């Protein structure tokens, strides 16, 4: 099979962790007789520095021509600390989502048997956790009208959703639930927000099309508590952009490290696969960043992007082996244990494949 993949390494540790995923993808492709065609492109702060734009037209053309996009990370502290900066790396991410039609972010949360003690939560609270959060990506407050008035002393951001946007995400959530434990939770704030009432109304109207799925509706503040208290009670969660942004980061620490969780963004034109962690600029260039979330994102790319389940399972098996044998970076090594470099972990994974 010919696999045409756009490679957007981005900023900070992005290039380092993406390099390890490339090693793994190439090893899998060699083993299963696939041909991988990589095309690299700039995004984020790296693109701003090069061409003054965080998501250049040239990068968009590369993504549109690809079967899938493997993405590293975006962001740089010099923009984070300047509230008056008019061009920001994160603008490139929003622009990319909109132009590629990346409407659904898929965030799995699960535990690793060998790392369950690394979690800040007790074993009995998290054992057996296996959930997916589906976050709507191209609507809501991040894309609504915004601005200042009263000479800059009053600011506003508008949250807007259409029924069609909600139906599109909810349909994907129902379908995922059908292939899992047949439980779907719609997270909103319908006791306060009109946009949330539209979410609840729309999902309720869709229940009749998926009678086998048990549907629940919970307020976002209650879910924020239950994710800590009883995460294994959830199967598939669907929610809007802002709530999803917060809940997915909260859920990510259940596994014991943000450096372990992969994600995908399902799109109209193509799909994008990326680790959930940020650019971690403090570690950039030091060869210490954990590459496993990016490698597991590549596994999602094989399975969900190309329909190659056996290849994806091989990657996950080798990642679990690396964790069990302690072939990990310093964030997971533990006191007194050897910490491997980012590149060494990538080499080990590729060799084992």
DSSP for 78-146? Answer: HHHT-TT-SS-HHHHHHHHHHHHTEEEEEEEEE--GGGGGGSSS-HHHHTT-EEEEEEE-SSGGGTS-E
Q: What is the pLDDT of residue 1?
A: 94
Q: Which of 19, 80, 130, 249 is catalytic?
A: 249
Q: Which two tokens stand for residue 82?
A: 């300047």
From the number of C-beta atoms within 10 Å of its C-beta (0-12, 13-18, 19+), residue 339 rates as middle
Is residue 246 helix, strand or coil? helix
- Is the pLDDT at 200 greater than 90? The verdict is yes
| Catalytic residue status for 142 | yes
Three-state secondary structure of 209-231: HCCCCEEEEEEHHHHHHHHHHCH
What are the CA-CA distances from residue 34 to residues 29, 76, 308, 349 (Å)?
A: 5, 36, 11, 18
Percent of the chain with pLDDT over 90: 85
Catalytic pick among 49, 82, 157, 221: 221
229: pLDDT strictly greater than 80? yes
The string of pLDDT tens digits covering residues 290-345 is 999 999 999 999 999 999 999 999 999 999 999 999 999 998 988 889 999 999 99
In tens, the pLDDT along 54-85 reads 999 999 999 999 999 999 999 888 887 777 77
Mean pLDDT of 88-112: 92
Give CA–CA dist 344/319, Å, rounded.
Answer: 13
For residues 61 and 181, give the distance between their C-alpha atoms in angstroms, rounded to a whole number: 39
What mean pLDDT is predicted for residues 119-125? 90
Yes or no: say if 121 and 251 are a contact pair by the CB < 8 Å rule: no
Q: What is the CATH number of domain 1-100+269-353?
A: 3.40.718.10
Q: What is the pLDDT of residue 263?
A: 95
pLDDT given at position 77: 85
Q: Which 3-state string (H, E, C) describes 48-94? A: HHHHCCCCCHHHHHHHHHCCEEEEEECCCHHHHCCCCCCCCHHHHHH
- CATH 3.40.718.10 in the chain, residues? 1-100+269-353, 103-260
> For residue 113, is pLDDT > 90?
no
Q: Has 249 been labeled as part of a binding site?
A: yes
3-state secondary structure of 46: helix
| Mean pLDDT over the full length of the chain | 94
Q: Catalytic residue among 55, 142, 234, 340, which?
A: 142
Mean predicted confidence (pLDDT) in 215-226 = 97
Question: Which residue in the block uniquely carries the two structure tokens 């909109």?
Answer: 98
pLDDT, residue 309, reads: 96
Q: How do residues 132-161 score in pLDDT, each as one tens digit? A: 999 999 999 999 999 999 999 999 999 999
Six-digit token pair at 129? Answer: 């956790």
Structure tokens at 96: 């990319």
Report the b/e string of 89-98 with b at 16+ CB within 10 A: bbbbbbbbbb
Give residue 116's pLDDT band: very low, low, confident or very high (50, 70, 90): confident
- d(CA 10, CA 251) in angstroms, rounded, equals 24
**Which residue is catalytic, options 245, 287, 304, 347?**
245
Residue 97, marked binder: yes
Which one of 103, 189, 235, 340 is the catalytic residue?
A: 189
Residue 340 known to be catalytic: no
pTM: 0.89
Which overall architecture, per CATH, does domain 103-260 show? 3-Layer(aba) Sandwich (3.40)
Confirm whether 103 is a catalytic residue. no
């Amino acid at each position: 099979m010919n696999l045409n993949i756009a490679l957007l390494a981005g900023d900070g540790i992005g290039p380092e962790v993406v390099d390890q995923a490339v090693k793994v993808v190439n090893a899998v492709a060699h083993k299963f007789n696939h041909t991988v065609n990589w095309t690299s492109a700039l995004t984020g702060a790296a693109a701003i520095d090069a061409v003054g734009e965080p998501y250049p037209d040239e990068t968009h053309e590369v993504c549109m021509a690809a079967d899938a996009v493997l993405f590293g990370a975006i962001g740089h502290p010099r923009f984070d600390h300047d509230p008056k900066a008019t061009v920001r790396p994160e603008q490139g991410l929003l622009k990319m989502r909109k132009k590629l039609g990346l409407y659904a972010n898929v965030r799995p949360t699960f535990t690793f048997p060998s790392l369950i003690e690394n979690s800040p939560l007790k074993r009995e609270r998290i054992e057996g956790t296996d959930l997916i959060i589906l976050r709507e990506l191209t609507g809501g407050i991040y894309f609504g009208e915004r601005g200042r008035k009263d000479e800059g002393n009053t600011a506003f951001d508008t949250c807007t959703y259409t029924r069609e946007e909600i139906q599109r995400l909810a349909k994907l959530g129902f379908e995922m639930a059908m292939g899992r434990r047949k439980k779907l939770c719609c997270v909103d704030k319908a006791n306060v927000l009109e946009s949330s009432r539209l979410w609840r109304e729309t999902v309720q109207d869709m229940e009749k099309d998926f009678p086998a799925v048990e549907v629940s509706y919970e307020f976002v503040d209650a879910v924020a508590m239950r994710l800590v208290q009883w995460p294994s009670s959830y199967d598939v969660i669907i929610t809007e952009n802002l709530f999803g942004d917060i809940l997915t980061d909260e859920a990510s620490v259940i596994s014991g490290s943000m450096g372990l969780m992969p994600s995908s963004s399902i799109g109209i034109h193509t799909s994008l696969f990326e680790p959930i962690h940020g650019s971690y600029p403090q570690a950039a260039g030091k060869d210490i960043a954990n590459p496993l979330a990016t490698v597991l994102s590549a596994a999602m790319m094989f399975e969900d992007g190309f329909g190659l389940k056996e290849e994806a399972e091989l990657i996950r098996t080798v990642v679990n082996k690396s964790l069990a044998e302690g072939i990990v970076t310093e964030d997971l090594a533990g006191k007194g244990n050897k910490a491997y470099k980012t590149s060494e972990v990538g080499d080990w994974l590729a060799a084992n494949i």
